[in-house]
Amino acid sequence: MKKQNRIPCLPFDVIFEILLLLPPESLPDLKRVCKQWKNIISNTHFIETQLRGSNRGIIYQTLISKGSYKTHFVEIREGGIMTRDIDTGRLGRVRASCNGLLLMECKLDLYIVNPITKRLVG
């Protein structure tokens, strides 16, 4: 008989806490690992907890060419300033932000974008 190697099942709370420690950018890919992880990451309580623990910062854009912008996020972390680019595609200008979501304007249309999950509503 073959010996089967099994990974012990971790309790829900432990997985929840581990996923909270990971960078938000990795979460969309981690939803594909298994149904349990997808359910946790999609859960409203998880999302709210993630937002409460995230660093606050400033979003600004630089004009690349007419109607084309590059979006940046600046945060103060551990006494230093960290800047990273946010991929907003070619949606145009950021008009507002709230709880990690961006209100984007492209020509005369408005879109709500989640830059972490890359989901768009318009």
Using alpha carbons only, what angle is made at residue 18 by residues 12 and 120, rounded to the nearest 5 degrees?
95
Q: How many percent of the chain have pLDDT more than 90?
A: 11
Q: Is 27 exposed, middle or buried (0-12, 13-18, 19+ CB in 10 A)?
A: buried
User: Residue 8: what pLDDT?
Assistant: 65
CB 105 within 8 A of CB 117: no
> Confidence band (pLDDT; 50, 70, 90) for 62?
confident
Q: Which residues make Cβ contacts (< 8 Å) with residue 67, sequence separation at least 6?
A: 92, 107
User: Residue 49: what pLDDT?
Assistant: 87
Pairwise pLDDT comparison (82 vs 5), residue with the higher score: 82
User: Residue 120: what pLDDT?
Assistant: 80
Whole-angstrom distance, CA of residue 27 vs CA of residue 25 = 6
CB 120 within 8 A of CB 111: yes
CA atoms within 13 A on the CB side of 15: 17
Whole-angstrom distance, CA of residue 55 vs CA of residue 68 = 27
Taking only the tens place, the pLDDT of each residue in 13-40 is 899 999 988 888 888 889 899 999 999 9
User: Residue 40: what pLDDT?
Assistant: 92
Task: Decide if pLDDT at 47 tops 70.
Answer: yes
Q: Tell me the average pLDDT of the chain.
A: 83
